[in-house]
């Protein structure tokens, strides 16, 4: 295939001049800063993934647990790079939007940490939406078999263990071979496209599935600033629907799903 040469006389033509917009409030600037940082982190992660595809990852295809550590390393490295100077992409985007230099102080105005963790998220145990909902003893026993994987995923992605357990209970009742009518598979019911994006090679492998599902859940928690109910709705119905309806979508399946997970979480923490 013949290569295509793009004729660009000035590669920074579209980012060297700031946008001619009205002055932004501190909260607006914080949101722009967060979006710029996250965009650079995502781009860096994609570049790292592309770079390691031809070398079977950082640790090699045959290494013990290499595929899991690849996923963790890519996420952590890209995030750390975007928090520092990085590639300068976040700074250029922010300058284009605000006409100002990007500073970490902008993120503080929104009280959002670039690498927020979610070990301490709690839903009020008196939340009526989950009252009386309990998992069966059989499903609890099945989930307990994967406790080591759940704890490892919790440490890797910063999601509370009981949240992971509750999602597994709601998704598959702890059955690693579960397949839904929508072709979602495994303990955390990953569809093929999500599994691929999360670096999961075998969706029916309990550890891979839990790592992939927890990684995706952590992304949804970050996207919705730690709002567990919105993150759960996005996990079930997709973030596009949550954004479209500006909250939990009016789908009975999704509303029931969020209520069920919260009920299980309340039970586990009672």
Q: Annotated catalytic residue: which of 38, 40, 171, 176?
A: 171
Report residue 72 CA to chain centroid gap: 12
Q: Does the active-site annotation cover 23?
A: no
Running DSSP on this structure, what letter comes out for residue 130?
Answer: G
Judge contact between 185 and 203, C-beta under 8 A: yes
Locate 56 and state its tokens: 């079977």
Q: What is the pLDDT of residue 235?
A: 97
**Cα angle vertex 218, ends 74, 238, to 5°?**
110
Judge contact between 60 and 66, C-beta under 8 A: yes
Helix (H, G, I), strand (E, B) or coil at 179: strand
Q: What is the pLDDT of residue 109?
A: 47
Q: What is the pLDDT of residue 24?
A: 63
Domains of the chain and CATH, by start: 26-108 (no CATH), 128-269 (1.10.530.10)
Q: What is the pLDDT of residue 251?
A: 96
Q: What is the pLDDT of residue 100?
A: 78
Q: What is the pLDDT of residue 147?
A: 97
Report how far residue 11's alpha carbon sits from residue 15's, in angstroms, rounded to the nearest whole number.
Answer: 9
**Helix H or strand E segment including 245:** helix 239-245
Q: What is the pLDDT of residue 211?
A: 96
Task: State which residues of the chain have pLDDT below 70.
Answer: 1-30, 45, 48-49, 51-87, 103-131
Locate 121 and state its tokens: 């998220």
**3-state SS string for 106-124:** HHHCCCCCCCCCECCCCCC
Q: What is the pLDDT of residue 107?
A: 47
């Amino acid at each position: 295939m013949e290569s295509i040469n793009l004729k660009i006389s000035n590669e920074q033509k579209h980012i060297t001049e700031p946008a001619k917009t009205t002055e932004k409030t501190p909260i607006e600037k914080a949101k722009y800063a967060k979006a710029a940082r996250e965009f650079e982190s995502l781009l860096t992660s994609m570049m790292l993934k592309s770079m390691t595809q031809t070398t079977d990852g950082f640790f090699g295809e045959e290494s013990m647990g290499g595929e899991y550590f690849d996923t963790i390393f890519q996420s952590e490295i890209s995030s750390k790079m975007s928090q520092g100077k990085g590639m300068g992409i976040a700074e250029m985007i922010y300058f284009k939007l605000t006409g100002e230099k990007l500073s970490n102080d902008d993120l503080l105005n929104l009280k959002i940490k670039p690498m927020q963790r979610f070990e301490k998220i709690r839903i009020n145990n008196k939340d009526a939406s989950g009252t009386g909902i309990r998992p069966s003893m059989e499903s609890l026993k099945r989930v307990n078999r994967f406790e080591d994987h759940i704890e490892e995923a919790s440490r890797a992605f910063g999601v509370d263990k009981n949240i992971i357990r509750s999602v597994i209970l709601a998704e598959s009742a702890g059955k690693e071979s579960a397949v839904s009518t929508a072709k979602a598979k495994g303990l955390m019911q990953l569809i093929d496209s999500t599994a691929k994006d999360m670096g999961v090679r075998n969706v029916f492998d309990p550890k891979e599935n839990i790592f992939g599902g927890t990684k995706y859940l952590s992304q949804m928690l970050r996207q919705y600033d730690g709002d567990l109910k919105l993150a759960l709705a996005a996990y079930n119905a997709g973030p596009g629907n949550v954004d479209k309806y500006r909250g939990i979508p009016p789908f009975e399946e999704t509303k029931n799903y969020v209520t069920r997970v919260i009920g299980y979480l309340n039970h586990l923490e009672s």
